[in-house]
Amino acid sequence: MQKSLLIDADKCTSCLQCEMACSFEHEGTFNPARSRIKIFEFEHGKRSVPYTCTQCAEAWCLHACPVEALVRNKETGAVEVKDDICVGCKVCTIACPFGTVNYNPDTGKVIKCDLCGGDPQCAEACPTDAIVYVDAAWTGLDRMQQWAASTDNKPMANA
Amino acid sequence: MSWQGQILRVNLTKGTAVAEPLNMEWANAYIGERGLGTKYLMENMDPKADAMGPDNVLIFATGPLNGTMASTSGRYAVICKSPLTNGIGDSNSGGKFGAFLKYAGYDLLLVEGRAKEPVYLHINDDSVEILPADELWGQTVWNTEEWIKTKHQNPQLRIASIGQAGENGVLFSAVVNDLHRAAGRCGVGAVMGSKNLKAVAAYGTKGVTVDDPKKFMAIIKETHAKLAESGGRQELTEGGTHPMIDMMQEWGGLPTNNFKEVQFKGIDGVNPAATTTPNKNGHTNLITNKACFGCTIACGRISHIDPEHFTIKNRPEYMHASGGLEYETAYAFGPVVGVDDVDALTFANFLMNEHGMDPISFGVTLAAAMELYEMGVLTKEQTDGIELTFGNAEALTVMAEKTGKGEGFGKELALGSKRLTAKYGHPDLFMGVRGMEFAGYDSRALQGMGLGYATSNRGACHLKHDVFGPDMEDVSGKGKAQPVKESQDMVSMIDSTGLCLFTTAGWGPEDFVAQLDAALPGEWTLERCVESGERTWTLERMFNQGAGQTGADDTLPKRMLEEPAPSGNAEGKVNELSVMLPEYYKLRGWTEDGKPSNETLARLGL
CATH number at residue A24: 3.30.70.20
Does residue B592 have a pLDDT over 70? Answer: yes
B 61-90 residues with CB < 8 A to A: 67-69
- Whether residues A123 and A48 fall in one domain: yes
- The model's pLDDT over A60-101, given as tens digits with 9 standing for 90+, comes to 999 999 999 999 999 999 999 999 999 999 999 999 999 999
d(CA B457, CA B461): 9
Q: How many domains does chain A have?
A: 2
Does residue A158 have a pLDDT over 90? Answer: no
pLDDT of residue A152: 81
Average pLDDT over residues A136-148: 94
- The confidence band for B597, taking pLDDT boundaries of 50, 70 and 90, is very high
- The model's pLDDT over B43-66, given as tens digits with 9 standing for 90+, comes to 999 999 999 999 999 999 999 999
| Amino acid found at B182 | A
Q: Which residues contact B429 (CB under 8 A, 6 or more apart)?
A: B258, B368, B371, B372, B417, B421, B559
Average pLDDT over residues B498-526: 98
List of chain A residues whose C-beta atoms are within 8 Å of the C-beta of residue B287: 46
- Whether residues A40 and A82 fall in one domain: no
d(CA B421, CA B241): 30
- Whether residues A105 and A64 fall in one domain: yes
- Whether residues A59 and A108 fall in one domain: yes
Is there a domain that residue A159 lies in? Answer: no
- Whether residues A86 and A59 fall in one domain: yes
Is there a domain that residue A13 lies in? Answer: yes
Chain A to chain B Cβ contacts (< 8 Å): 87
Determine what percent of chain B is predicted with pLDDT higher than 90. Answer: 100
- Whether residues A106 and A90 fall in one domain: yes
Average pLDDT over residues B76-84: 98
- The model's pLDDT over B178-199, given as tens digits with 9 standing for 90+, comes to 999 999 999 999 999 999 999 9
d(CA B493, CA B587): 18
Determine what percent of chain A is predicted with pLDDT higher than 70. Answer: 97
Query: Smallest CA–CA separation between B368 and chain A, in Å?
Result: 32
List of chain A residues whose C-beta atoms are within 8 Å of the C-beta of residue B208: 29-31
Domains in chain B, ordered, with CATH? Answer: 6-203 (3.60.9.10), 256-430 (1.10.569.10), 442-603 (1.10.599.10)
Determine what percent of chain B is predicted with pLDDT higher than 70. Answer: 100
Q: Which residues contact B331 (CB under 8 A, 6 or more apart)?
A: B245, B248, B254, B255, B360, B363, B439, B440
- Whether residues A48 and A62 fall in one domain: no
Does residue B203 have a pLDDT over 50? Answer: yes
- Whether residues A18 and A62 fall in one domain: no
B249: left (phi over 0), alpha (psi -120 to 50) or beta: alpha
Burial class (CB in 10 A: 0-12, 13-18, 19+), B121: buried
- The model's pLDDT over B228-282, given as tens digits with 9 standing for 90+, comes to 999 999 999 999 999 999 999 999 999 999 999 999 999 999 999 999 999 999 9
- For B587, the enclosing helix (H) or strand (E) is helix B577-588
Is there a domain that residue A155 lies in? Answer: no
Does residue B324 have a pLDDT over 60? Answer: yes
- Whether residues A137 and A102 fall in one domain: no
Does residue A156 have a pLDDT over 80? Answer: no
Residues B143, B221 contacting (CB under 8 angstroms): no
Is there a domain that residue A30 lies in? Answer: yes
Question: Does the distance separating the beta carbons of B224 and A45 come in below 8 Å?
Answer: no
- The confidence band for A107, taking pLDDT boundaries of 50, 70 and 90, is very high
Is there a domain that residue A158 lies in? Answer: no
pLDDT of residue B218: 98
Is there a domain that residue A72 lies in? Answer: yes
pLDDT of residue A154: 75
Does residue B102 have a pLDDT over 60? Answer: yes
- The confidence band for A157, taking pLDDT boundaries of 50, 70 and 90, is low
d(CA A93, CA A104): 11
The pairing of beta strand B108-112 with beta strand B6-11: parallel
Which of B69, B291, B298 lies nearest to residue A21, judging by beta carbons? Answer: B69
Is there a domain that residue A37 lies in? Answer: yes
Does residue A133 have a pLDDT over 60? Answer: yes
Dihedrals φ, ψ of B507, to 5°? -110, 145
Which string of b and e fits B321-337 if b means at least 16 CB within 10 Å?
A: bbbbbbbbbbbbbbbbb
Does residue B531 have a pLDDT over 90? Answer: yes
- Whether residues A59 and A106 fall in one domain: yes
- The model's pLDDT over B20-42, given as tens digits with 9 standing for 90+, comes to 999 999 999 999 999 999 999 99
Average pLDDT over residues B324-331: 98
Average pLDDT over residues B464-475: 96
Q: Which residue of A has its CA nearest to B204?
A: A33
- Whether residues A20 and A35 fall in one domain: yes
Residues B266, B335 contacting (CB under 8 angstroms): yes
The pairing of beta strand B197-203 with beta strand B119-124: parallel
Residues B184, B359 contacting (CB under 8 angstroms): yes
List of chain A residues whose C-beta atoms are within 8 Å of the C-beta of residue B103: 31-33
Question: Does the distance separating the beta carbons of B203 and A33 come in below 8 Å?
Answer: yes
Does residue A153 have a pLDDT over 90? Answer: no
Is there a domain that residue A140 lies in? Answer: yes
B99: Cα within 13 Å, side-chain hemisphere: 34
**What is the ipTM metric for this complex?**
0.96
Q: Which residues contact A58 (CB under 8 A, 6 or more apart)?
A: none
pLDDT of residue A159: 47
Q: Which residue of B has its CA nearest to A33?
A: B205
Q: What's the mean per-residue pLDDT of chain B? A: 98
- Whether residues A19 and A6 fall in one domain: yes
Host domain of residue A63: 55-112
pLDDT of residue B454: 98
